[in-house]
Structure 1
Amino acid sequence: MIHEIDEVLRGVLRGGSLAGTEVEVVFDAPTRDWAARRNTPTVDAYLYDIREEVSRRERGLISVRDERGVVTSRRQPYRWFRLSYLVTAWTRRPEDEHRLLSAVLGTLLRRESLAPEELTGPLAALGVHVPLVAAVPPDRSVADIWSALGGELKPSLELVVTMPFPATPEYPVAPPVTEGAAVRVGDMQGELPDPPLRAHRPPLSGAGR
Structure 2
Amino acid sequence: MIDEVDAALMALLSEETLPGTDVQVAFDAPTKEWTARRTAPTVNLFLYDIQEDVSLRQEGSAAEYDDDGAVVAEHAAPRWFSLSYLVTAWTNRPQDEHRILSVLLAGLVRHDVLPPARLTGTLAGLGLPVAMSIAVPPARDRGLADIWTAVGGNLKPSLDLVVVAPLASGRVRAAAAVTDGLRLHTSDAHTGGGESRRLRLPDVPAEDPAAAIGVPRERELPAERRRRGGGSRPIGSRP
TM range (shorter): 0.7 to 0.9
Inter-partner Cα distance in structure 2 for 1:181 and 1:79:
44
| Alpha-carbon distance between aligned partners in 2 of 1:122 and 1:61, rounded to the nearest angstrom | 17
Identity %: 47
Return the letter of the residue paired with 2:154. E
Q: Retained in 2: the 8 A contact 1:15–1:107?
A: no
TM-superposed CA distance for 1:161, in Å, is: 0.9
Q: Is the 8 A contact 2:89 2:98 kept in 1?
A: yes
In structure 2, the partner of 1:199 is 228
Answer whether contact 1:89 1:98 (CA < 8 A) is retained.
Answer: yes
Q: Partner of 1:97 in structure 2? A: 97
CA distance in 2, matches of 1:181, 1:118: 52
Which whole-Å CA distance do the structure 2 matches of 1:23 and 1:133 have between them? 22
Mapped to 2, the partners of 1:68 and 1:200 lie a distance apart of 45
**Alpha-carbon distance change, 177 to 24 in structure 1, aligned in 2, over 3 angstroms:** same
1:204 aligns with none
- The residue number in structure 1 matching 2:85 is 85
* One-letter identity of the residue aligned with 1:103: V
Give the aligned partner of residue 164 of structure 1: 166
TM superposition score normalised by structure 2: 0.73
Q: Deviations over 1:69-97 (max 9, x none)?
A: 32221121011111100000011111110
> 1:93-146: CA deviations, max 9, x gaps?
111100000011111011121243321223222222211111111343111111
Question: Which residue is 1:6 aligned to?
Answer: 6
C-alpha distance in structure 1 between counterparts of 2:178 and 2:171, whole Å: 21
Q: Which has the higher contact order (CA 8 A, sep 6+)?
A: 1
The 8 Å contact of residues 74 and 173 in structure 1, kept in 2 or not, is answered as no
1:110-149 alignment runs, 5 A limit: 110-138=110-138, 139=140, 140-149=142-151
Shift of 1:173: 2.5
Indicate the residue corresponding to 2:108 in structure 1: 108
| Residue identity in the other structure for 2:173 | Y
* Whole-angstrom CA distance in 1 between matches of 2:72 and 2:228: 47
CA offset at residue 200 of structure 1?
5.7
TM-score by length of 1: 0.83
1:38-71 per-residue CA deviation (whole Å, 9 max, x = no partner) reads 2211100000001111111111222222344322
Cα drift, residue 176 of structure 1: 3.8
Larger gyration radius, structure 1 or structure 2: 2
Structure 1 unpaired stretches of 5+: 202-209
Is the contact between residue 28 and residue 46 of structure 2 (CA under 8 Å) also seen in structure 1? yes
- Quote the offset at 1:166 in angstroms: 1.3
More off after superposition, 130-139 vs 79-88:
130-139
State whether structure 2 residue 39 is matched by structure 1 residue 30.
no
Aligned counterparts of 2:52 and 2:69: Cα–Cα separation in 1: 32
Deviations 1:5-36 (A, max 9, x none): 11110111123352101000000000112112
2:23–2:43 Cα contact (<8 Å) kept: yes
Shift of 1:183: 5.1
The code of the aligned residue for 1:120 comes to T
Q: Name segments (4+ residues, structure 1) moved above 4 Å.
A: 178-181, 195-198
Aligned in 2, Cα 1:172/1:42: closer, same or farther, shift over 3 Å?
same
Shift of 1:181: 4.4
